[in-house]
Amino acid sequence: MSSHQYVRGMLVKMVQMIMDHPEAVVVETNYSDECTTYVVTVDTRDMQKLVGAGDRNANSLHIIVSAMGMKLGEQMRIEVDGRRR
């Protein structure tokens, strides 16, 4: 399993844990020369849970993914609802 697959799998599991509709969670991986972006899509009814009050949940996920990227020597970030973190 590659490091990108591992990070993606961890992100999917973390997002599914806080959703009412975990089966609808999709995480796509976009690669560029600058960084790897994980695009998170959830059921529209769960969007508020993903973002959280004051963007807390999305920012927390961003911190975790960024830390994983630093450990791997790469820049990684997430995108939720068309907004980069």
Q: What is the pLDDT of residues 65-81, one digit of tens each?
A: 999 999 999 999 999 86
Kindly report the pTM of this predicted structure.
0.90
**Which pLDDT value is given to residue 52?**
85
**Number of domains composing the chain:** 1
What CATH number is associated with residue 39?
3.30.300.20
Q: Quick check: 84 pLDDT over 70?
A: no
**Which pLDDT value is given to residue 30?**
95
Structural domain harbouring 26: 3-84
Q: What letter does residue 7 receive in the DSSP assignment?
A: H
